[in-house]
Amino acid sequence: MKNLLTKELRLTATILSYLFILFAVMTLIPGYPILVGAFFICLGIFYSFQLGRENNDILFTVLLPVEKSDAVRAKYLFTVFIQTAGFVLAFILTIIRMTALSKAPVYMTNPMMNANPAYLGWMLIVFTLFNTVFLGGFFKTAFNFGKPFVLFCIISFIWIAIVETLHHIPGLTWLNDTAALTDGRHWAILAVCLIIYVLVTWLSCKKSIKRFDEVDL
């Protein structure tokens, strides 16, 4: 498994997957739907799957002396690695926004989503959608990825629109707090979203392994 993951990171991945991690910096942009940064991180991962398909990477992998299921696990681990890198960067920038920049006028009057633990939780849900809708859909055939990615785009932007609307609802304005560092409600949202991300991604991987086992390459 370690060798397969190394292959994913060094050979299969396109440079865009690593460059698009920097879209987490959108966390600092005021007056903009910053959750779109999570979508772009997933877009970078998509480009690696696109490159892999054009180079027959899946076929090459299963011809190696490895378990067929390990090929799926390696793809999921690569995806989680990129998502984790983007999340960590966003987490650091969110802490900066909630401390040193919490009173900055551009954030205090920001009509869009502010960076706080709830935002980080919503980010994990975008990643979860990618891991279920796109990865799960891809491994139905291990070749066709257009429909799963379009479906992910639609669902993820619906999700972004929903959570961007929440803090405008009376009684939920606390979701847009610029200094929510000590607000337990925010950290509870993040904790729940993290559990969802881990559990659903794991279940998606198990289901993809079953699907891929039935694919005739």
Q: What is the pLDDT along the chain (217 residues), one digit of tens a residue?
A: 888 888 899 989 999 999 999 999 999 999 999 999 999 999 999 999 999 888 888 888 888 888 889 999 999 999 999 999 999 999 999 999 999 998 899 999 999 999 999 999 999 999 999 999 999 999 998 888 899 999 999 999 999 999 999 999 999 999 999 988 999 999 999 999 999 999 999 999 999 999 988 876 6
DSSP 145: -
Cβ atoms 117, 177 nearer than 8 A: no
Which pLDDT value is given to residue 217? 62
Is the C-alpha dihedral spanning 166, 178, 198, 13 positive or negative?
A: positive
> Which range of residues forms the domain containing residue 68?
2-213
Q: Whose CA is closest to 35, among 131, 135, 115, 149? A: 115
Residue 33: DSSP 8-state: -
105 touches 176 (CB < 8 A): no
- Please give the tally of structural domains in the chain: 1
**Residue 98: what pLDDT?**
94
pTM of the model: 0.96
DSSP state of 200: H
